[in-house]
Amino acid sequence: MAITRREAARIDLSKNFIYNASPARVIFSKDTIQEFPSEISQQSLKAPLLLSTAQQVSQAEVFKKILNGNIVGIFTEATMHTPTNITEKALEYAKSVSADSIISIGGGSTIALGKAINIRTGLPHICIPTTYAGSEMTPILGETYDGVKKTRSEPKILPRTIIYDVNFIMSLLASMLATSGVNAISYAVEALYA
């Protein structure tokens, strides 16, 4: 339903606002990971550090092969709630191998660790989600220090690039799909209010 000119004239335009659209580059396709080396090259990244959980090392190894071994390492200690002691350990490792970027492969825990490293270092962060967590699309980071979880939000927390590969997500077990789907709904609601 269109508004009339008279109604338009009464709209209060004195309300200031700022709208920031997501600056992330989103790539969605089947077999996207096969094009991953060209994505890395396009962004002029030479020394990526892969992040995963201990349970997802095999997926990180797949990416290492796709990148012809052109990585500086794999950090496999991502864990739930992003404990700051793990983040500090990952930061030390990234520095010791002279990483110029972070690639998180996995669900919410791994993506959160990538966000935590990115916000502290400014290193470009590329996400390859393997679940429906949805945290890759929010500018929110939750971290745990001494058992207390703190959350912060700022646009710089968003990853630079998000790559969805249908084959990775389709490899999830049915039980994981269900749990991950419910988690995605919670992130969608959170994103509305972030």
Whether 10 is in a domain gets the answer: no
Backbone φ and ψ for 48, nearest 5 degrees, come out as: -75, 145
Query: Considering the entire predicted model, what is its pTM?
Result: 0.83
Please give the share of the chain, as a percent, with pLDDT higher than 70: 87
Whether 18 is in a domain gets the answer: no
Q: How far apart are CA 34 and CA 138, in angstroms?
A: 26
Whether 1 is in a domain gets the answer: no
Whether 40 is in a domain gets the answer: yes
Whether 124 is in a domain gets the answer: yes
Which of 16-25, 62-71, 174-183 has maximum average pLDDT? Answer: 62-71
pLDDT at 22 exceeding the cut of 80: no
Residue 156: give the domain boundaries.
23-193
Backbone φ and ψ for 116, nearest 5 degrees, come out as: -65, -40
Q: How far apart are CA 128 and CA 107, in angstroms?
A: 8
Whether 71 is in a domain gets the answer: yes
Residue among 143, 29, 24, 134 nearest 78 (CA): 143
pLDDT at 10 exceeding the cut of 70: no
Q: Count the domains in the chain.
A: 1
Residue 150 pLDDT class (50, 70, 90 cuts)? very high
**101-to-35, 91, 155, 158 alpha-carbon distances in Å:** 18, 12, 18, 14
The two tokens of residue 139 are 């500018």
Tens-place pLDDT, residues 72-99: 999 999 999 999 999 999 999 999 999 9
Average pLDDT over residues 30-41: 87
Domain CATH code at residue 177: 3.40.50.1970
Average pLDDT over residues 145-170: 89
Quick check: 176 and 193 in contact, CB under 8 A? no
Whether 13 is in a domain gets the answer: no
pLDDT at 194 exceeding the cut of 70: no
pLDDT-wise least confident of 48-52, 115-119, 176-180 = 176-180
Whether 97 is in a domain gets the answer: yes
pLDDT-wise least confident of 132-136, 160-164, 176-180 = 176-180
